């Protein structure tokens, strides 16, 4: 059991086999690609056929030294001397399964609730299959999909209840597009105890190339491990040094920054990206996202315009960005202003991994479940937070990302480190789109930031750069109001030097 590797767990389904493939062939190719455990699930097979199929698959798994577990059917497991079984809530009770199989066989249990997880842990399950994460057609379930947050809730309870080493995978709608997101988001206790792996069915069983499908899933699991290492404790002087490096790196790389943004600010955001040193592409057509994603360095998603076509484009772009490990900056404009808008943002955060969430106090407060500051249209209204840094930290921990909360002072947190940016000018609040341009600035620096393994610092660089540009623009003698400020603002983004950035940034660590 100490050697049980649950990282890539395959659940079979003969009904999904590609033309010309047999079940043993698919299992063999999947193991070559990195599958570490196989569960044989044949719900419609009679006993004789099930045993015959199990023996064929077992020949493959034993040759590769990969455990073979039988779904539900203890009689089949005993008949072929399988490595263990996986049972559901309506199958044979755990204690009876253990009595029949003995202490050395592997027994996994499907759980959907905290109580079921507690009972399985107390009963001595070797691992849990927590589900369902996303909607799936491969299995009938009593409760709807829980999303990564619900999976994390059950996993945390299992860890709390366990007096021994318990393992767990999650299952349900997991594929190459969301595997890293699920593993990163589902990590319990502030990301310190991640799940042991993912269980997949159609992502491998329905693929014409099972080996390549498994390899891609393994690559995504490797990505998820690196995501959990991106939030080390940082000191202020180290952050300032990294910020200078990231600022300089951008000007020498010219990242391609894709924007899906609202119609009011498209031109401003494109010009801001160019002025800062990036190359903007403004594309929201879902049909071209697969091709475009291979070239894009960073993606900025702004929910200011929520037509059906725009939402479809956002989902397609975010899906392919996750596949390529491309950083996403999400600006949840006016989340909380309407129930529909809140639902869309919630679903995006459930389905896709983001590097940064940037919003005003009302937007971040909504994501935190706070009512201290609320939304009126796109504006935040209210008396302000008693402790704004805790709101930013809370949202960062919940979504496993960097959170930027803009205002008179800008709060930036990854849940472990929290900083305040004190640069900026009140004129920024007097032009439309200044907040959206902050999202652009963050997204423009994010590719360079991830190259330095410092998304938190990249967000800080974006805010400082655009705020310094505002300070410089407001001091110009040719600026006489919002109209002239807008043009000068873009100019000063372009004119900002490394020396100015390094000398004038005002960052305080909390």
> 435-471: buried (b, 16+ CB within 10 Å) or exposed (e) per residue?
bbbbbbbbbbbbbbbbeeebbbbbbbbbbbbbbbbbb
Burial class (CB in 10 A: 0-12, 13-18, 19+), 55: middle
CA distances in angstroms from 342 to 193, 309, 354, 503, listed in the order given: 30, 18, 17, 40
Q: Which of 436, 454, 449 is nearest to 297 (CA)?
A: 449
Contact criterion met (CB below 8 Å) for 476 and 482 = no
Catalytically annotated residues: 436
Contact criterion met (CB below 8 Å) for 85 and 108 = yes
Structure tokens at 243: 């910020």
What are the φ and ψ backbone dihedral angles of 509, each rounded to 5 degrees? -95, 135
Contact criterion met (CB below 8 Å) for 458 and 478 = no
Q: Which of 190, 115, 118, 125 is nearest to 152 (CA)?
A: 190
Structure tokens at 121: 């842990």
Look-up of token digits 């010219």: 254
């Amino acid at each position: 059991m100490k050697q049980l590797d649950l990282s890539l767990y395959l659940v079979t389904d003969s009904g999904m086999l590609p033309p010309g493939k047999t079940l043993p062939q698919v299992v063999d190719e999947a193991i070559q690609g990195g599958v570490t455990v196989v569960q044989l699930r044949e719900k419609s097979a009679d006993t004789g056929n099930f045993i015959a199929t199990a023996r064929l698959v077992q020949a493959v798994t034993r040759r590769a030294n990969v455990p073979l577990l039988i779904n539900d059917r203890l009689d089949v497991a005993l008949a072929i001397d399988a490595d263990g079984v996986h049972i559901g809530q309506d199958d044979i009770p755990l204690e009876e399964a253990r009595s029949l199989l003995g202490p050395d066989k592997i027994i996994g249990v499907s759980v959907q609730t905290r109580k079921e997880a507690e009972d399985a842990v107390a009963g001595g399950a070797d691992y849990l299959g927590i589900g369902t994460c996303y909607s799936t057609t491969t299995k009938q379930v009593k409760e709807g999909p829980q999303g990564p947050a619900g999976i994390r809730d059950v996993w945390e309870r299992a860890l709390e209840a366990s007096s021994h080493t318990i393992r767990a995978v999650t299952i349900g709608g997991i594929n190459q597009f969301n595997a890293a997101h699920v593993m990163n988001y589902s990590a319990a206790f502030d990301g310190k105890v991640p799940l042991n792996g993912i269980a997949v069915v159609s992502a491998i069983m329905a693929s014409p190339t099972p080996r390549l499908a498994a390899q891609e899933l393994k690559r995504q699991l490797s990505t998820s491990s690196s995501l959990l290492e991106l939030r080390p404790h940082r000191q202020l002087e180290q952050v300032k040094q990294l910020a200078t490096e990231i600022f300089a790196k951008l000007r020498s790389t010219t990242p391609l920054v894709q924007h899906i943004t609202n119609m009011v600010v498209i031109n401003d955001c494109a010009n801001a990206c160019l002025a800062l040193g990036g190359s903007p592409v403004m594309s929201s057509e879902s049909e071209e996202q697969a091709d475009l994603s291979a070239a894009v360095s960073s993606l900025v998603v702004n929910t200011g315009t929520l037509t059906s076509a725009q939402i479809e484009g956002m989902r397609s772009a975010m899906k392919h960005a996750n596949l390529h490990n491309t950083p996403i900056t999400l600006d949840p404009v006016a989340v909380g202003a309407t129930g529909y808008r809140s639902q869309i943002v919630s679903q995006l955060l459930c389905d896709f991994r983001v590097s940064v969430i940037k919003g005003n106090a009302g937007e971040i407060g909504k994501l935190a479940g706070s009512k201290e500051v609320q939304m009126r249209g796109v504006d935040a209204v209210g008396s302000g937070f008693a402790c704004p840094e805790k709101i930013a930290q809370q949202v960062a921990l919940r979504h496993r990302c960097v959170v930027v909360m803009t205002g008179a002072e800008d709060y930036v947190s990854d849940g472990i480190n929290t900083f305040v940016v004190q640069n900026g000018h009140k004129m920024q609040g007097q032009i439309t789109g200044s907040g959206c341009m902050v999202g652009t600035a963050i997204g423009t620096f994010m590719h360079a930031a991830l190259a330095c393994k410092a998304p938190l610092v990249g967000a800080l660089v974006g805010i400082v750069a655009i705020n310094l540009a505002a300070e410089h623009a407001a001091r110009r003698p040719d600026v006489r109001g919002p109209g002239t400020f807008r043009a000068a603002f873009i100019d000063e983004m372009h004119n900002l030097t490394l020396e100015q950035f390094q000398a004038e940034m005002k960052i305080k660590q909390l």
